[in-house]
């Protein structure tokens, strides 16, 4: 099977998203750059992830053209491939409609770094609304992520994380959702205070070097 290890990795984390409540049904997608290739493995469109086998996952080029696989790639393939083209250091992307990150996107609120584990991914800016699956959404997300953000929300849509590894992108999706929940509850309590900026910068530096935070 072409790119077997990468396909297995993408399916593993797609199922983890499903099992941990980050993705409901097929409302989300996961992708990984094939090491050393201008190719991406991505989850297919509209098929429950826990029914798939690794060989079912489509492989596309960095421009979204199908290289291998019989199933239709995710409708959000343009967004995933745009991120890979823009960020050479990104090898994994996770997009979910997790509850609190989506609520924060509807509020159009940036998610601050609330607790130390969130420091690598927060603050999480919100990209303005564009139609799902569109070239405009891909461009808006890439612009919102900029050169060093590892996560953003999309207005009325959900969240997306990207990282040097798919495992880190998945961890980011968990972290952003937890951070969004804490921020939302703090807003409702009437007092919201994120991490001090100097602490956030130092904790991010440690996290990106692989040090515990």
pLDDT in tens, 79-107: 999 999 999 999 999 999 999 999 999 99
pLDDT of residue 211: 60
Quick one: which of 186, 25, 171, 209 has its CA closest to 107?
Answer: 186
Q: Map residue 38 onto helix, strand or coil.
A: coil
Contact residues for 8 (Cβ-Cβ < 8 A; gap 6+) = 54
Domains of the chain in sequence order = 4-208 (3.40.225.10)
Residue 70, CA atoms < 13 Å, CB-side half-sphere: 5
Contact residues for 34 (Cβ-Cβ < 8 A; gap 6+) = 3, 6, 40, 41, 59
Quick check: is 76 catalytic?
Answer: yes
**Annotated catalytic residue: which of 9, 76, 174, 177?**
76
Question: What distance lies between CA 161 and its chain's CA centroid?
Answer: 3
Quote the CA–CA distance of 198 and 22 in Å, as a whole number. Answer: 30
Encode the chain (213 residues) as per-residue pLDDT tens digits: 789 999 999 999 999 999 999 998 888 999 999 999 999 999 999 999 999 999 999 999 999 999 999 999 999 999 999 999 999 999 999 999 999 999 999 999 999 998 888 888 999 999 999 999 999 999 999 999 999 999 999 999 999 999 999 999 999 999 999 999 999 999 899 887 888 889 888 888 887 776 656
Q: Residue 39 burial (CB < 10 Å; 0-12/13-18/19+)?
A: buried
């Amino acid at each position: 099977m072409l790119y077997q290890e990468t396909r297995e990795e993408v399916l593993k984390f797609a199922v983890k998203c499903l099992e941990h409540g980050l993705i409901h049904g097929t409302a989300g997608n996961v992708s990984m750059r094939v090491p050393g290739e201008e190719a991406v493995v991505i989850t297919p469109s509209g098929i429950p992830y826990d029914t798939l086998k690794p060989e079912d996952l489509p492989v596309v080029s960095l421009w979204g053209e199908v290289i291998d696989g019989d199933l239709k790639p995710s409708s959000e393939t343009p967004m995933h491939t745009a991120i890979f083209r823009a960020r050479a250091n990104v090898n994994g992307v996770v997009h979910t409609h997790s509850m609190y990150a989506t609520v924060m996107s509807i509020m159009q609120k940036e998610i601050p770094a609330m607790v130390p584990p969130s420091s690598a991914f927060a603050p999480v800016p919100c990209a303005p609304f564009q139609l799902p699956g569109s070239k405009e959404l891909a461009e808006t997300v890439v612009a919102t992520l900029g050169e060093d953000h590892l996560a953003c929300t999309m207005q009325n849509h959900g969240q997306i994380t990207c990282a040097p590894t798919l495992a880190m992108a998945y961890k980011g999706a968990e972290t952003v959702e937890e951070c969004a929940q804490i921020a939302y509850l703090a807003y409702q309590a009437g007092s919201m205070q994120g991490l001090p900026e100097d602490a956030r910068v130092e904790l991010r530096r440690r996290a990106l070097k692989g040090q515990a935070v």
